[in-house]
Amino acid sequence: MIAIIDYGVGNLFSLKSSLAAIGAEAVVTRDQQVLDQADHIILPGVGAFGDAADKLRETGMFQVVLDQAASGKPLLGICLGMQLLLERSFEYGEHQGLGLIPGEVRPIRPVIPAELDVPHMGWNGLHFPKDRARSPIFADLNEGDHVYFVHSFAGFDCGDCCTATAEYGPELTAAVQKDNVFGTQFHPEKSGDVGLKILKAFCQWR
């Protein structure tokens, strides 16, 4: 069973529908007992980092996510959910993240060419580091496969935990991983067949 954490932030319907399309049993929940029983956990998110982090704490899910990750259970953060995995964000102030992945969240406007729009919205090809093994959630993908982004902030200084980038002027962090914790800045649930391959690979990973 895949547990999608419901903390008041996220496009839960399309994500659950995508998981159903690959035959994965999924439940939207904030019940700790259900999360304990789940095989994999997904942390979605849209909106502002500070508000989302506050809602995680208010619902009790902040510590639950930390505990589930520490147990070794596969965890996937999507979009803002990925950003929450990092150490801190500078979106409208400074906010503490979960700290499961090294790095920080900063605006993309200062680093991209002036002619490019913010938010970065649309389809971009994924590029994988050539100096290390590919992340298991990308095992069935090809270099340059396109996925769908909507974001004005991105992860920076993630080091070897950055498992994919996408070019939007410079190469921006598109995905991260540290041990059993995964994150995608893009939306797999909005990325067609490529996104379904990613979700399937995550759900099958142990």
User: What is the rounded distance in angstroms from the CA atom of residue 103 to the CA atom of residue 75?
Assistant: 17
Q: Of 79, 158, 161, 203, which one is the catalytic site residue?
A: 79
Instruction: Tell me the one-letter amino acid at 64.
Output: V
For residue 119, the tally of other CB atoms under 10 A from its CB is 12
Q: Of 120, 162, 187, 203, which one is the catalytic site residue?
A: 187
Active site (annotated) includes residue 87? no
Active site (annotated) includes residue 187? yes
CB 62 within 8 A of CB 52: no
What is the b/e burial string over 56-94, where b = at least 16 CB atoms within 10 angstroms of the residue's CB?
beeeebbebbeebbeeebbbbbbbbbbbbbbbbbebeee
Contacts of 185 (CB under 8 A, 6+ apart): 79, 82, 83, 149, 151, 154, 155, 166, 172, 173, 174, 175
In DSSP terms, 123 is beta-bridged to 148
Active site (annotated) includes residue 203? no
In DSSP terms, 172 is beta-bridged to 166
Catalytic residue annotation: 79, 187, 189
